[in-house]
Amino acid sequence: MDAMDALRGRRSIRSYSTEPVEWEKVEAAVDAARLAATGRGVEPWEFVVVTDARVRGQIAALCDYGKYLAQAPVCIVVLCRDTKYYLEDGSAATQNLMVAAFAQGLGSCWVAGDKKPYAKKIVRLVGAPEQYKLVSTVALGYPADNHPPRRVKRSLQDVLHREKFSRRTGNPISPAELPAPAVAKKTER
């Protein structure tokens, strides 16, 4: 799959089939994650792949959103050493992981971790040293057939500015001006 096709096609999936995910696909997604851009070449990341249903359930129970982590056959916990740019680095790695997963026919969804009240509990649960920061947990699996349609993204013309920021028709700049998402109403938190 072409990189631009993967970037355009990837979307958050919150409902998964029970089909197991091949280890080679998990490895390939983590391999793409470790190739992410990193400030100062630090590469502070570590990736804990959780397939044990009991542990996935514990992670899901700790999160305020992302209960689907228990249903997905794989949960990848993205951790970073506490460096100057750990959040940027870990976020870039998480994005790479999700795009690579999509390119292999898998669905994924990012659940926030940084600065969340449950972050330290998840770090301990997966046995990581306490100086690591939880950047994200990522649900991973084959999409179920019942996921809602992909939300329409803002157009390139709405977000691209040349030389300096300019307010144009169709270019919302405050949260109050943003259009409501064009997706089915969420039923799960």
pLDDT tens string, the chain, 189 residues long: the values are 999 999 999 999 999 999 999 999 999 999 999 999 999 999 999 999 999 999 999 999 999 999 999 999 999 999 999 999 999 999 999 999 999 999 999 999 999 999 999 999 999 999 999 999 999 999 999 999 877 778 899 999 888 998 988 876 554 555 555 556 554 444 444
Rounded CA gap, 68 and 189, in Å? 9
Q: In what order do the strands lie in the sheet with 107-112?
A: 45-50, 74-81, 132-141, 107-112
- Ordered by start, the domain boundaries in the chain are 3-141
Domain 3-141 belongs to what topology?
NADH Oxidase (3.40.109)
* pLDDT attached to residue 119: 98
**Which tokens sit at 58?**
């514990």
143 phi and psi, to 5 degrees? Answer: -60, 140
pTM above 0.85, yes or no: yes
State the DSSP code for 38: -
State the DSSP code for 143: B
* pLDDT attached to residue 185: 45
CB environment 106-145: b (16+ within 10 A), e (fewer): bbbbbbebeebebbeebbebbebeeebbbbbbbbbbbbbe
